[in-house]
A and B are shown apart, each in its own frame.
Chain A
Amino acid sequence: MDNWTFGLTMMIVAGGGTFLTLWVLGLLIDLLKRIYPLTPEKPSHD
């Protein structure tokens, strides 16, 4: 494999994969936030 092919493969697959993985992670975090929303603190009964 020549250097040019190697470099482009890395850029497309590893670079693209990085972008895609972080996008998927973003979606999953959004999902987590919907499943476990921040609930307001309950007032104390003291």
Chain B
Amino acid sequence: MIDSIIAGVSGLAAGVVYLFTLGLPNAIMLGVGGTLLYLGAKKNVEPLLLIPIGFGCALVNIPLSELGGEGGLLKIFYQMGVANEVFPLLIFVAIGAMTDFGPLLENPRILLFGAAGQFGIFLTLMIALALGFPALEAVSIAIIGACDGPTAIYVTSQYAPHLLGPVSVAAYSYMALVPIIMPPIMRALTTEKERAIRMVTVKRSVSQTTKVLFPLVVIVVGGLIAPKGLPLLGTIMLGNFMRESGVVARLTKASENEIANVVTLFLGLAIGGTMEGHAFLKPTTLAIFGMGFLAISLDVAAGVLFGKLVCKLTGGKVNPLIGAAGISAYPMAARVVQTEGLRYNKKNHLLMHAAGANTGGQIGSVIAAAMMLSVLKGMGLI
């Protein structure tokens, strides 16, 4: 009888005993989960993602919880939609349904800002390779520079699934930090005179037919050049086609709300579930966070420098600050540019131009990922 009671009590105490013997990594990760929850709930930093991620992280690190093990709830979420890439792709349908590409279509040349804003991806790739990361891991780390959570998850879950936790958390954290990361770089690379340049107001010039045909053009052109990225391009453009066609309001609304909400919850929990202490707390994780920061900073710098070039070529008609919005963090990056522009010229409203560059950055990030996947395929690495 006594033996039986002792065995029962040891079952209850096993978690606590584990935490105080082998559980230091778990304890640290409980702190990390708590920090993510604090940032999301108290500081309003990407709460829709950081709260499920933080909660998943906390759950999986409670010793002997088995939530992240085979058959565990978080592992089931992971297998349901992350391992097979369904969740990030459904998020893309939602993003397409939410995005108005109008400002971009008004001035299509601004798409090139969306290309310049991806340059950090390729520079970071070189740095990751120089640090000794294998090719596919380096690609997964560099893709944080896409500044686009679903793209980072899509690529990493396929080619470096063991890095999914740090890459996803880095991608979403830095996206949320865009208002802090962008301004110092924008100020360092431009003169006060350049920042004060006023741009001509965009006139409305796009027909509804053009808006409806745009997603189809993107999938045909993008799909022909980089077929490996068609799931990314196809889903974002499906969402946008539904939005612009205007005939499936129920599906558009469901994509923007119910689907996006449910998938975000499952995706966040699944990512949090990959952050088990013993797997997460490695020097590699720190390196990934460092390079992710570098990637996004280089994107912004490349965008501003490209903006300066365009400013020179157009005889000072383009404010180089809009180049900084050529990343995928929409609409945050455009708002930061608007705020910075107003700081140096109270009549300078750059929002529409910056929103064009920002939506260009959204397409640019997806095209860049599609290109990388297709080039990897061409080289026989995937």
Contact = CB atoms under 8 A, between A and B. Distances in A.
B368 interface: yes
B372 A10 contact: yes
B111 A3 contact: no
A32 B105 CA distance: 10
B204 interface: yes
A32 B218 contact: no
A21 B367 contact: yes
Contacts of A13: 371, 375
Interface residues of A, number: 31
Interface residues of B, number: 47
B119 interface: yes
Contacts of B129: 3-4, 6-7
B124 to A, nearest CB: 10
A38 B368 CA distance: 31
B206 A33 contact: yes
B226 interface: yes
A44 interface: no
Contact of A29 (B204, B214, B367): B214
Nearest to B213: A32
A17 B371 contact: yes
Counting chain A CB atoms within 10 Å of each CB, the highest count among B110, B112, B119, B125 belongs to B125
Given A18-B118, A29-B214, A32-B210, A9 B375 contact: yes
A3 B379 CA distance: 13
Contacts of B314: none
CB-CB nearest 6 A-B residue pairs: A29-B108, A14-B371, A36-B209, A26-B108, A3-B129, A19-B115
14 contacts: A7-B129, A8-B126, A14-B368, A14-B371, A15-B118, A17-B226, A18-B371, A21-B225, A22-B112, A26-B108, A26-B111, A28-B217, A30-B108, A38-B207
Interface of B: 104-105, 108-112, 114-116, 118-119, 121-123, 125-126, 129-130, 132, 135, 138-139, 204-207, 209-210, 213-214, 217-218, 221-222, 225-226, 360, 363-364, 367-368, 371-372, 374-375, 379
Interface of A: 1, 3-4, 6-11, 13-15, 17-19, 21-30, 32-33, 36-39
